Structure 1
Amino acid sequence: MRRLGVAAVLSGMLLVACAAPADEPTPEPTVQPTAVRSGSASPSEAEPPPGLEPAAVEESFTCLTELPASQWLVDEEAGIAGALAGSGETLVILSRQVNGDLCSWAFFAEQLTDAGYQVGLPSYRSGDPIALQLGLAATAREQGVEDVLLVGASMGGTYALGAAAVMDPAPAGVVALSPPSEFDPPGPAPVVDAVAAADELAAPLLVLVGAEDAAFVGPAESIGAAAGVDPVVLEADEHGIALVREHDDVRQQVVDFIADPR
């Protein structure tokens, strides 16, 4: 069933695009709103479900060495891979936007693991992005996780909604930051339709978008309408991950929703 939300508009935030840290890509939206088309790895003793298997962490993802109990999981046949880190009864899967990699969420993953959550970091390079999230969730459940939340930025917000609509059991909540209405993954995976997924959603949903990120306000409103919630339109011009990284009050709103999704 759909959960009804409360209209919210945050004010008092500077309309300033802050520069990204040197080790992260500049968080500019590079997709259209209706785009078509640590420690080192230490796999848990729990047996992953068929598909994702433990592997040596890829050297390019240096952020994983800074996260506790990191695991690199791969399904070579399906062409999907991702990481789990931390421990706890709740898994938060953090899906990145198109201009970055899984380490774009490292700052938030560190905060969440410090707070007692397990985090999932999908690597969206090929394969089915929905199957990857479902695989990470299934692996974490095999290791003792009880609840799963999906958080995604831009492309990742659309992917999060797509996975949430078919995840069984349903996730405890979904956060979509600046999501396009649909996104066409590379390779043979089908287009992910965020509006259709929101219409099928059986979990609380938080949609956030900057008022000055004009191309994504309409999609956020369409997604919210399909789910029966009002998007939070922020006085900001940042896009996706930058909303959380640059604004403490937005980050706190996401943290509060993760702790008590409703």
Structure 2
Amino acid sequence: MYLLRRLQIKTFYLPVLLFLLSACSANTSPGGDAIQVSFNTENNIFLSGHVFGEGNTAVILSHMDTGDQSNWWPFARTLRDKGYKVLTYDFRGFRDSFGEAALDSSYEDLNAAIDYFVDQNVSKIVLIGAGIGGTASLRVGNHPSVVGVVTLSSSPIVGALNVVDDIPAIKAPKMFLAAEEDTFNVRSTDVFLQMSGDPKERHIMKGAEQGTNMLIGPSGPSAKGLIIDFLRRNTQ
């Protein structure tokens, strides 16, 4: 009887255990048709990423310092379905990427991501970054293969990384997003507008969400629509 009761308990809890394991691993892989990839920085640091979709127009999504590439996966699928080839990746020291976390060097990691696509003969690349990911995107936005730069809740200065002098060199179209209650990053967009040449645009969204959280908050549909429209206009 005791053995039977133990078997019944195990049988009862097995679905629960499987559900918990599934929940814990939900953000370990994007699933679907995403392909896991890796590439190295110039100083040979291994970075991990995923590629969604196919094509000659690519989008590189760079994450915030409070997250990792998984924050971008839902939007990466949206862009894939719009016909773009999308790369999400982790900065060094985050998630599955090697090395010590060094946000001051985030632009070097993004450069490696750009090189990954250039080596595949991708003709057009749009950089989209949240937080430090946007700051890094502004640092390297003058790359000849870059045809657009979008920032979400980004600052011109993060630690020793200062991109104020890099912004004027970006000839590609630029779009800056921030939430109205995120006053610090709203002021940052003032700096971006002041330092940028045309074409440029700024959109202040309702709410206080930062970075990729703007895409899932109350302003999510508007923010995603603005980015998708920016891509359509600048990748034809």
**Shared fold per TM-score greater than 0.5:** yes
Distance 2:193 2:42 in 1: 36
Instruction: Give 1:249's aligned residue.
Output: 222
Deviation at 1:256, TM superposition (A): 1.0
Distance 1:205 1:76 in 2: 27
Q: Does residue 1:180 correspond to 2:180, yes or no?
A: no
Distance 1:66 1:114 in 2: 12
Q: Which runs of 5+ in 2 are unaligned?
A: 1-22, 94-100
Distance 1:95 1:141, change over 3 A: same
| Structure (1/2) with the larger helix percentage | 2
Distance 1:91 1:82, change over 3 A: farther
CA displacement 1:101-137 (0-9 Å, x = unmatched):
1111010111112222111223112363222222222
For residues 209-228 of structure 1, the aligned pairs below 5 Å read 209-228=178-197
Aligned residues: 198
SS of alignment partner, residue 149 of structure 1: strand
Identity of aligned residues (%): 23
Larger radius of gyration: 2
Instruction: Give 1:20's aligned residue.
Output: none
Instruction: Give 1:158's aligned residue.
Output: 135
Q: Is this contact kept in 2: 1:91–1:148, CA < 8 A?
A: yes
How large is the RMSD of aligned CA atoms in angstroms? 2.5
SS of alignment partner, residue 220 of structure 1: helix
Which among 90, 100, 103 is matched to residue 70 of structure 2?
A: 103
SS of alignment partner, residue 31 of structure 2: helix
State the TM-score, normalizing by the size of structure 2: 0.75
Distance 2:79 2:215 in 1: 13
Instruction: Give 1:49's aligned residue.
Output: none
Deviation at 1:142, TM superposition (A): 2.1
Distance 2:171 2:42 in 1: 31
Q: Is this contact kept in 1: 2:123–2:145, CA < 8 A?
A: no
Distance 2:151 2:223 in 1: 12
Q: Is this contact kept in 2: 1:82–1:120, CA < 8 A?
A: no
State the TM-score, normalizing by the size of structure 1: 0.68
Deviation at 1:215, TM superposition (A): 1.6
Distance 2:180 2:186 in 1: 7
Which structure has more RCO (C-alpha within 8 Å, separation ≥ 6)?
A: 1
Q: Which runs of 5+ in 1 are unaligned?
A: 1-22, 25-58, 185-190
Which among 119, 138, 143 is matched to residue 142 of structure 1?
A: 119
SS of alignment partner, residue 164 of structure 1: coil
